[in-house]
Every structure is written in C-alpha cells, then in structure tokens.
Chain A
Amino acid sequence: MERSRAWEVMDTDCLSNIFRRLDVDDRVLAIPFVCKSWYHASIDPLCWLLLDLRPLDFMPRSPFALRFTKEYSLQPFAFTFSGFLKLVVHRSQGLASHLMFPLVFGPSLDDLVFSSKKCSSLKTLVLPRLEQEAENQLPELIKHWKDLEELEMESKPSSFLELVAQISVHCDKFSGLKMFGHIRMEDSWALVNSLPKLKCLNLSKSCMSKEELMVMIEGLREMESLIVNECIGFQVDDEVKRRSLSIQNFEYEGCELRVDDAFDTHEFDCLHVFGLWG
C-alpha cells in the first residue's frame, strides 16, 4: 500500500517529540531550514522545554557563533549570548523546565533577570560562577521560580544565606542542591533550618570540616543522596559512616583532611587552593 514514507508530512506531535531530544544547536541551525512542516514542528514550545546551553561555545568567533551568524545572515559580530538566550526562551513560551547556562560567557545580571521573568516554570537551573552584581541579586530573583526543584551552582555565592532563605520561602518543591565552595558552620545550619526536606546534596570539591558535615548529616533527615567527593577538611571515619546509614547514596571518594601539613586545618583557607576567590 502506501509504501512511500513521507517524513515531511509526519504528525507535528511526532516530529516535535523527536526534535525535543536534539541539542539546542541542531534545533536552531538545522531543523527549521529542512522544510516547512519541520520548521513548524520546530517552533512548538514542547521542543524547547530543555534549554541546555552548556555544550555551546559562545565565544564571539567560535565555529558555532560563525555558523549562526552566517545561517541567519546577521551583521558581523552581532551574535551575542543574550540574543541567543532571548531566542530560545522566546521559543519555549514560558514552558521551559530546565535552563542550564554555559560555564564560560554565562549570564549577565540582565540575562538572569530576563530568565526569571520569562522562565517561570523552571524545575532545574544550572548557573556558572556569576559576577558579583548578579550574585547579589540572585536571592531576589528566586521568587519567580516557584517550581524550582534543583539548583546547581559553579560556586557558592556570597549571598548564599539569603539565597537559601528565599528558596525556603518560595520554592515548595525544592529538593536538590549542587555547588562547591567553603562550607562554614552557618551554611550548614542554614541548610538544615531552611531546607529540612532537601533530598539530594552534592558538595563535591568543597572545603569543610567534619563538624559542618555532621550538622548536615544529622539535620537533613530526608536526605537520600549526599555526595562529597574530593572534599578537603575531613575524612569519613566510623562515626560519620554510622550516622549516615539512613542515606541511601553516600559518596565520599578522595576526601582529605588537609592539603598541606604546614597548615592547621581550622585556619587553613582552602579557597586559595581552588583559586575560587581570585
């Protein structure tokens, strides 16, 4: 019978189901130019729920930037991260559930404010290290992301305590946090007091002592996964293991008490080692 397949007349729903699995660059640079019906399927907001911008190189003269500039006949050097962000966010029509910013050439304060207003359905947000201005504003923006479940940050922001407080007020479903930095006692207590229902916590490559770790293990009673690989400042001894028995997934590979014997653990500032704070 009709043995002539016709990919251009496939149901739009079928097509957009395929397209939403593609990387963002395929969705922007290839699919819309294939044929009319693919173009129409490609602008279905359901194709744009997942906005993972991490694999893309936003450097001004990167192959991706050049290809985009050529494909869309932009003025030379007109390509910007902000422009691209606007495009993909516009496509999602407010339905985006995952927004993952690239680690290099990440969002300015304006980009963050824009995302908070236009992506109010976000469940997962991945942030690179932010500029000071954006870091300071981050807690203010949290109220726009009421559905937020997971937050991943390249480093612990200086506004961390305020951030946690805002998450506690506005994000009922919040359950997962990933970041690294210097975890102080007040940070541990902030997590325990403000986010007692946290299920997944990943603090790999952080700097903290056993005391700070124990506060979280004891205080976060619903924790299912705790990952503290390659941390500095403690070692997982029998006591830690015993107290953490109720945590289904506890990973602690490569933890070290200290980096250099010349330093006293309590005074030693690991941030210099990681070069986090310049």
Chain B
Amino acid sequence: MDNSKIVIETHELTRRFGDFIAVNAISFDVKAGEIFGFLGANGAGKTTAMRILCGLLLPSSGKATVAGYDVYTQSEQIKRQIGYMSQKFSLYDNLTVRENINFFGGIYGIPKRELQQKTAELLERLQFEAEADKLVRSLPLGWKQKISFSTAILHSPQIVFLDEPTGGVDPITRRQFWDMIYEAAANGITIFVTTHYMDEAEYCDRVSIMVDGAIAALDTPQKLKQQFGVEDMDGVFLQLARGAKRSGD
C-alpha cells in the first residue's frame, strides 16, 4: 500500500436539506489501495456522503477531493476515476452478461477493441463463458454481484464505491465476494465500502462509523475494539449507534 498517496480527502464536509443536516462537518482521508469501511445506522448520512464523493450531489459547505478532483467543480472528472456498485442497482436484468459488460464498458469510455479483450478476460477469470449470452435475470444473485463488481472496476478506476454489496447472499458467496475485494485492493484500487455485516467491518483496513450525520469513530478495527473495550465490531457499532437520535434510510 502506498501510504503517502491520499485518494479521498474531506474537510468539514456538510450537506443540508432545508433545516436537516444530513452530513455534518465530516473530515477524513482515504489512502490509495486501502479498504475503507463506511458504516452507520440507517439514516446516519452514509448515502448522502457517498453521493457527494461520487460527484452526484453538491455539498453545502466544506471541502472534498476525490482522486485529486474537487467535488464542487470537477464532478465529471471524478466520475471517470471511480467505479460504483450497489446491491439495489447493479446490472440490467433484460440484457445478457456480455451486453451488460459492453454497456458499462462503453459508458466508462473503454475503447471498443480493448473492451472486447477485457470482456473475454473477465468472462474467463470468472469462469462465466458458458453463461455469457444468458440474460442476467436468469442468474443467481451471487453471480450477478460478481459480474457487477467486475464491471465496476473494468475501466481500472482509482476508487470503487460499494454500497452494501453483499446483502442477501449466502455465506460462501459473501466470502468469495470479499476475495474479489481483497484482490482489487492488492492491485491498487481503493475500496470504499458500506455494509450491515459487522464481520465484514473486520476485513477493512480502517472503519468509520457515522452517527447522526457526523463521524463518531474512525480507526482500524483492532484499535476501535480496544477503544470501546469490546470483542468485536458488532459491540463497537452497538455502543455508537444506540445513542443515535435519528433513524431512516
């Protein structure tokens, strides 16, 4: 891991919706190649913060740069440097696996010849060649998530944002998915991930926990457990989130 290079930097980043402060002066850095866990209760402000960092929403105040670009003025450049995957939206059900890869590769601006080659490599690596021309709709959720993640990093982004990527999958698939995350991180892609599975928080290099719009804790899982005097990340989360004033999505 290149410890010197910072790929996400925020300083007192704030977003208001009317009187409501969704994100309240959060400051943190994410280093290149790091697996950064972004946790919080429903309604804590995670989604809003993530949308800002993806260049989809303007902050109300504060600073943030992603891959060196300013979220206020360079959102288009940011979008080219990042990948995004969520459980809720990942692939088009009524396109085949190959069509989905082509579609997203095209959107990410990968030249046609390179895309063909990358598609072939991807299908081989996932051992999905036999399913390449099947509709995504007909595939098990675990497969969709693997294709979706691979598609999100096909253009070799600096950072990939994963929004609850493992919700609802079986325990083996969930672990295979984390193998892919580790591999991507080992290849230098920074991982920014949200999850409701506290065991997955342990797989992160560092974890931040948002409560009521602010970052209530940020450290390695080991240090957080020491700090709160608990055995696992579930214990850390419960202590912090029980004090939360607001709830919601």
A and B: real partners? no
Q: B residues bordering A, Cβ < 8 Å? A: none
